[in-house]
Amino acid sequence: MKLFFLGLDGASAQIMFERNLPNTRRLLAQSRYQACMAEEDYPYTGPSWTSIYTGMSAEEHGVTDLWGRNIEGSESYDTLRDPVIWEMLNHAGMSTGVVHMPMTTCTRQVNGYIVSGFPNDLDHAGVAAELMPLLQARDISDLIRLTPRDRILDNTWYRNYTLDQSIEILKKMIDWKVEAVRILVHTHPVDCLFVQYSMLDRIGHLLNQYLRLRDGQDWSYEPLLELYDWLDTRLEALLDVGADYELLIITSDHGWPAQATEPYSYDGKLFGAWHSHDGVLIVRDLSEAGRVQTGRTGPCYNRDVCPTVLGLLGQDYEALRNATSPRPAERPRQFDGKASEQTIEERLRALGYL
């Protein structure tokens, strides 16, 4: 395998690089690392991941909605007219596995396999079918949505599970996904593997949900930092996908602040914290050429990730972007019908977005 690309939605540079996380520190010592900034106007999952996928700014690719939905003039993964990184890699002759990368769907073809990402319908294309039971829950919002409910979504979940229980469930889902990925790599090897874990973003949103339940009382930011500590203990398992690879990329779309602020109200809702701009880019190059100088370097933007990765794989970003036709080449279907819109809204509500 040539590339393992690990996405960590919401991983903050300040916490990843400055908190005492022993395994992360060891990795950083072998890597080039930097803050990977979300754009000033779009510190959101949809635009930022699309910039990572395409190497373009939000203005250029047109995905401006928080969650990359095809609403209010925003493009979506389905309507995007520009090629994404796995399409460019496919064009260059490399196969790709894509698991739970945010906003992805199965409407665009991939040479390899793809399991769609939040908040779109769970779907898969290619050879991942037998692993789907392990990959059903892309994150906690899928579970929340699937729980039987008699009233509104959040009430059912948050009244039945404590914060600690929710966090235990999050961790369990991560361990399952790690196992599923190891099996996939073994049974269906690809040249380039993309996998995304969203617990660092989800814990932030969960904290806000539980904060609301308690009307802002006893606000504690510790659970978020403790999840970084836990993730650090799992780092080796996350990085060991069961095959050797030369190039490791870890990146995030935006961050989450490292310090708790006092709870505040916005738009009638209580928040403890919200996205920050400082995502991460970590590059570990174990190839013989050793093209990457280790150490911390200045910040880059989300849109710099794609050219960087392709360059490290010996590809020319501009040339590949021009040569690759996005698949399908014609603009595909728009959002089709209310049902789909509604289910996406339910998932977002489960996270407390709406």
Q: Which residues bind Zn ion (CB under 5 A)?
A: 9-10, 45, 201, 253
Compute the distance between CA of residue 324 and CA of residue 84 in angstroms, rounded to an integer. 9
Q: Can you read off the two tokens belonging to residue 147?
A: 């729980």
Go through the chain and tell me how many residues it has: 354
Closest approach of Cβ 87 to Zn ion, in Å?
22
Query: For the chain, how long is the longest CA-to-CA vector?
Result: 59
C-beta of residue 65 within 8 angstroms of C-beta of residue 80: no
Q: What does the H/E/C string look like for 48-102?
A: HHHHHHHCCCHHHHCCCCCCCCCCCCCCCCCCCCCCCHHHHHHHCCCCEEEECCC
Q: How many CA atoms lie within 13 A of 196 on its CB side?
A: 28
Is 83 or 279 the residue whose CB approaches Zn ion more closely? 279
Is 305 or 320 the residue whose CB approaches Zn ion more closely? 305
Closest approach of Cβ 253 to Zn ion, in Å?
4
Closest approach of Cβ 48 to Zn ion, in Å?
7
Closest approach of Cβ 275 to Zn ion, in Å?
7
CB atoms within 10 A of CB 339: 9
First to last CA, the chain: 40
Burial of residue 287, with CB atoms counted within 10 A of its CB: 0-12 exposed, 13-18 middle, 19 or more buried: middle
- Closest residue to Zn ion, based on beta-carbon distance: 45
Compute the distance between CA of residue 46 and CA of residue 103 in angstroms, rounded to an integer. 7
Q: Which helix (H) or strand (E) holds 114?
A: strand 112-115
Is 8 or 137 the residue whose CB approaches Zn ion more closely? 8
Cα 198 from chain centre = 6
Compute the distance between CA of residue 5 and CA of residue 248 in angstroms, rounded to an integer. 6
Is 10 or 352 the residue whose CB approaches Zn ion more closely? 10
Closest approach of Cβ 348 to Zn ion, in Å?
12
DSSP 3-state of 7: strand
Is 10 or 112 the residue whose CB approaches Zn ion more closely? 10
Compute the distance between CA of residue 87 and CA of residue 321 in angstroms, rounded to an integer. 9
Closest approach of Cβ 302 to Zn ion, in Å?
11
Is 95 or 276 the residue whose CB approaches Zn ion more closely? 276
Is 177 or 277 the residue whose CB approaches Zn ion more closely? 277
Is 12 or 70 the residue whose CB approaches Zn ion more closely? 12
Closest approach of Cβ 299 to Zn ion, in Å?
18
Closest approach of Cβ 195 to Zn ion, in Å?
15
Is 9 or 285 the residue whose CB approaches Zn ion more closely? 9
CB atoms within 10 A of CB 162: 11
Closest approach of Cβ 239 to Zn ion, in Å?
21
Amino acid sitting at position 78: D
Q: How many CA atoms lie within 13 A of 231 on its CB side?
A: 25
